[in-house]
Amino acid sequence: MKIYTRTGDKGTTALLGGKRINKSELRIHAYGTIDELNSYMGLLGDHSEIDEKQETILRIQNQLFVIGSHLATEPGKSFDYIPDLQETETKLLEDEIDDMNLSLPEMTNFVLPGGHKLVSFIHISRTVCRRGERLVIELGQNEQVPELIIKYLNRLSDYLFVLARYAAQKLGVEEVPWAPRK
């Protein structure tokens, strides 16, 4: 299989189902951002400092691929090879959040991102996730988008925020609270 087809050289791409659309359309931005997030999740998975989270990160990456496939599918079409979206994936994130929160101090302020490269990468992943969520919501205003995608992305950004705090604690990095200037 050749990686290049030349069919997109004039700015269009094919959805799963065959319909060609402009690469600048919202649907492409939405699933492109999910792909970007998946790449950042791979970056997180490369960090041994959070080895105990590798299985969850890999599961998230797989779920993001499923989400991207749903978003890349022509509206009204479905394919047997694309797995269904499952509520259990969102529940997994909630359980992981609850588990990490057991060891974290209570939050009394917003926290500034940073303090360690890994913590910063996690926060970047979180913000890419939020951008993807906003794009999917916007797409859903004009086209049918499964609600489970929006719910999952919302919970994933929560998971990433807590993972950043968890990683900071594990690395001995002090969280810097945001203090507005008066």
CATH of domain 18-102+109-173: 1.20.1200.10
Instruction: Give the DSSP letter string of the chain.
Output: --S--STTTTSEEEPBTS-EEETTSHHHHHHHHHHHHHHHHHHHHT-GGGGGGHHHHHHHHHHHHHHHHHHTBPTT---TTSPPP-HHHHHHHHHHHHHHHTTSPPP-S-EES-SSHHHHHHHHHHHHHHHHHHHHHHHHTTS---HHHHHHHHHHHHHHHHHHHHHHHHHTPPPEE-----
Band (177; pLDDT cuts 50, 70, 90): confident
Q: What is this structure's pTM?
A: 0.94
Query: Domain limits of the chain?
Result: 18-102+109-173
According to the model, what pLDDT value does residue 108 have? 87
Give the tens place of pLDDT for each residue, 52-86: 999 999 999 999 999 999 999 999 888 999 999 99
Which stretch, 6-10, 29-33, 79-83, 109-113, has highest mean pLDDT? 29-33
